Amino acid sequence: MDETKQEQLEQDAMNRRDSMKRGSSLVGAADILTLVPPAVRSNAWAAGSDAPEKPNITVGFIPLTDCASVVMAHELGLDRKYGLKLSASKEASWAAMRDKLVLGQIDAAHVLYGLVYGLQLGIGGQKKDMAVLMGLNHNGQAITLSQQLREKGVTNGQQLAALIKKESRDYTFAQTFPTGTHAMWLYYWLAAYGINPFSEVKTITVPPPQMVANMRVGNMDGFCVGEPWNARAIQDRVGFTATTTQSIWKDHPEKVLGTTLAFVQQYPNTSRAMMRAVLEASRYIDATANRGKVAKIIASKAYVNAPVPVVEGRMLGVYENGLGQKWTDPNTMKFYQDGQVNFPYLSHGVWFLTQFRRWGLLKQDIDYLAVARQVNQVALYTEVARSLNIPVPSSPLKTEKLFDGKIFDPNQAAAYARSFKVHA
């Protein structure tokens, strides 16, 4: 790095610290500190410095469009702005990501919301106290069905249900991880049409980049995955989009910036710096004018390894379903939305727990909200967001309405989990 650039980075850091001090006085630094857990607060500003305790960090990601904020935090130099050197580590599967997180081989990850909660409860992996630092994106996944189903006259959920009940053969559907978001969207969608995802069809786990190849050779009849792999299935003429996940739940939570609770407690300054870099990247990506540039970067071999148009189209909200329909989706993948995407709502964590209960991953009701409070780092996020003048919601809980008309109230989680007609 040349001296001029180094001087500029140092000046940026000084400006940032001055800005944080001014911001803290405006929002009440003492009030914020009372929200931060004591284990984090005790190490918060060691020796009076906010410098990252661990300046070199490795953040895992899976080749999906929604890895963009982690990738761009590095590509835009935002990691260096906050005193970090972020290495983005491309992982082969969510299972590999899980193992590396638990073993400490990576520091944090672009990771499935439900995977983090599964680890917290010891479901689908070794039990480990985990932390959701912030949300990374909303929307932007889809359920793809095979061309073979289309040839049988199936283009939607009702027709799929009728075919499955008519034919005796097993139909196979793929998701990406047993406790992950894609599994929950797939199960919810199938069940809404009266298809039990455990007794009436077969479900398998396939890593995202392998979905299209497996459908091409007939290993599954449908899958739920993140982009760009749904768009790639259409381009390769092996499948069509039956529904987008934003049609199942508008502005649903998807990937998060996750780590272990031990990492947050040991490296609080590093955690804050990482969050600031990713938040700034999120804000950058959400500007439509920047998305073309972002698509070109993340489509490269080092990251998603897919044709730029396949990544860019749905990132910009330009959709086609492979059945002749084209539209501009106002609820395309979102990365910021004035901080609404990034705030770690406790209610989002509670929703995933209710689905674990619904599908038998949890054998009995638990204190759903207590678990969400343990995992989602609301106070830490609030502190970081306010230091960047990012709005923070007044409550960490909100009700939701999904496409089947059911209302989710996080204060009635146990009743909600029991209210569905189709269970495991």
Q: Is 363 exposed, middle or buried (0-12, 13-18, 19+ CB in 10 A)?
A: exposed
With contact defined as beta carbons under 8 Å apart, do 272 and 279 qualify? no
Domain co-membership, 94 together with 36: yes
User: Rounded mean pLDDT of 236-249?
Assistant: 98
Domain co-membership, 123 together with 152: no
Tokens of 394: 């007044």
User: Rounded mean pLDDT of 22-47?
Assistant: 40
In this predicted structure, what is the pLDDT of residue 312?
97
Residue 110 pLDDT > 60: yes
Residue for token digits 């395309």?
332
pLDDT digit string, tens, across residues 200-229: 999 999 999 999 999 999 999 999 999 999
pLDDT digit string, tens, across residues 285-307: 999 999 999 999 999 999 999 99
User: Rounded mean pLDDT of 382-411?
Assistant: 97
User: Rounded mean pLDDT of 86-102?
Assistant: 97
Domain count, the chain: 2
Domain co-membership, 262 together with 376: yes
Domain co-membership, 224 together with 274: no
CA 174 – CA 44 distance, rounded (Å): 43
Q: Is residue 166 a part of any domain in this protein?
A: yes
Residue 172 pLDDT > 80: yes
Mean pLDDT of the chain: 91
CA 372 – CA 347 distance, rounded (Å): 8
The CATH number covering residue 364 comes to 3.40.190.10
Q: Is residue 421 a part of any domain in this protein?
A: no
Domain co-membership, 149 together with 226: yes
Quick one: what percent of the chain has pLDDT higher than 70?
Answer: 89
Model-wide pTM > 0.85: yes
Range(s) of the domain holding residue 8: 3-138+253-319+330-399
Residue 24 pLDDT > 70: no
Domain co-membership, 98 together with 227: no
CA 237 – CA 214 distance, rounded (Å): 13
SS3 label, residue 145: strand
Long-range contacts of 157-166 (CB under 8 A, 24+ apart): 157/189, 157/190, 157/192, 157/193, 157/242, 157/243, 158/193, 160/193, 160/195, 160/222, 160/242, 161/193, 161/194, 161/195, 164/195, 164/200, 164/201, 165/200
The values of phi and psi at residue 130, to 5°, are -120, 170
* Sheet strands side by side (includes 85-90): 85-90, 56-61, 108-112, 255-260, 130-135
Domain co-membership, 171 together with 207: yes
Domain co-membership, 87 together with 211: no
Domain co-membership, 48 together with 164: no
Domain co-membership, 180 together with 269: no
The values of phi and psi at residue 413, to 5°, are -65, -45
In this predicted structure, what is the pLDDT of residue 29?
33
Q: Is residue 324 a part of any domain in this protein?
A: no
Domain co-membership, 119 together with 65: yes
